[in-house]
Amino acid sequence: MSQPNKVAIVTGASRGIGRAIASRLASDGFAVVVNYVSNPAEAEQAVGEISASGGQAVAIQADVSKAGDVTGLFEQTEKRFGGVDVLVNNAGIMDLKALSDTPDELFERTFAINVHGTFNTIRAAAKVLRKGGRIINFSTSVLGLSLPTYGVYSASKAAVEALTKTAAKEFRGKNITVNAVAPGPTATDLFLRGKSAGEVENFKKMPPLERLGTPEDVANVVSFLAGKDGAWINGQTIRANGGMV
């Protein structure tokens, strides 16, 4: 492949918000790594759509909760495209249960992917991200609502926000920004799974704009943070939720 000017890794990019982000960054001129963990067909489909639109993309498998996989992800990206400029930490899980009903396995898996995964990729990016690079993590606007059953998920995202602020300061002198995006309810399979029509309608009514967000709404915010116009935003969490909180 020819060497592009800018390269972005988007974790968990085979579907949903991650896929919309990969597509948007490709249209912005980035060569995009579509990271996935368990569905190569969807990842390759995302790559095919980007290529058909004139962009550059490859699919690379890696489980972000495993440090070795993350090291391989960055090494393969550098081999394919010559470097890394943007890391989007979109990969995550949201399995909801009341705290009293949450098994250890669910707690540990949530933190392994949402927190340890973010830590693993930030640590790897610190070694290779080119000057002027961007790291964009993912939190959630549910942190401002304290909804029942969201306790473990919200706690994992609170940790991500803490990592975001600290990393932004630790990258001093490298011209690298670190921010987080905190979507509100967004119309993806991850969000809609297990919810009744009535529950979905209630979530639609929460923001003053009276609708669910779309993956493209969130991708627009990531595009801003990854582009030249977002260069002065650092150590912040942008709550993309239509005014819900």
Task: Return the structure tokens found at 133.
Answer: 């690079």
231 domain-assigned: yes
Question: Number of structural domains, the chain?
Answer: 1
pLDDT at 192: 86
| 215 occurs within a structural domain | yes
The reply to whether 178 falls in a domain is yes
For 192, the token pair is: 């809609």
32 inside domain: yes
What is the model's pLDDT at position 230? 97
pLDDT tens string for the chain (245 positions)? 455 689 999 999 999 999 999 999 999 999 999 999 999 999 999 999 999 999 999 999 999 999 999 999 999 999 999 999 999 999 999 999 999 999 999 999 999 999 999 999 999 999 999 999 999 999 999 999 999 999 999 999 999 999 999 999 999 999 999 999 999 999 998 788 888 999 999 999 999 999 999 999 999 999 999 999 999 999 999 999 999 99
Is residue 2 a part of any domain in this protein? no
Alpha carbon of 19 to those of 97, 135, 164, 169: distances in Å?
27, 17, 22, 29
Domain boundaries, position 109: 7-240
Alpha carbons 25 and 86: distance in angstroms, whole number: 10
pLDDT the model gives residue 1: 46
How far is Cα of residue 219 from the mean position of the Cα atoms in its chain? 10
* CATH number of the domain to which 43 belongs: 3.40.50.720
User: Does the residue 1 lie in any domain?
Assistant: no
Question: Residue 4: what pLDDT?
Answer: 64
pLDDT for 3 equals: 52
State the SS3 of the chain. CCCCCCEEEECCCCCHHHHHHHHHHHHCCCEEEEEECCCHHHHHHHHHHHHHCCCCEEEEECCCCCHHHHHHHHHHHHHHHCCEEEEEECCCCCCCCCHHHCCHHHHHHHHHHHHHHHHHHHHHHHHHEEEEEEEEEECCHHHHCCCCCCHHHHHHHHHHHHHHHHHHHHCCCCCCEEEEEEECCECCHHHHCCCCHHHHHHHHHCCCCCCCECHHHHHHHHHHHHCHHHCCCCCCEEEECCCCC
The catalytic site residues sit at 153
For residue 90, give the amino acid letter.
N
Q: Is residue 136 in some structural domain? A: yes
Q: Burial letters for 30-60: b for 16+ Cβ neighbours within 10 Å, e otherwise?
A: bbbbbbbbeeeebbbbbbebbeeeebbbbbb
**Residue 206 placed within a domain:** yes
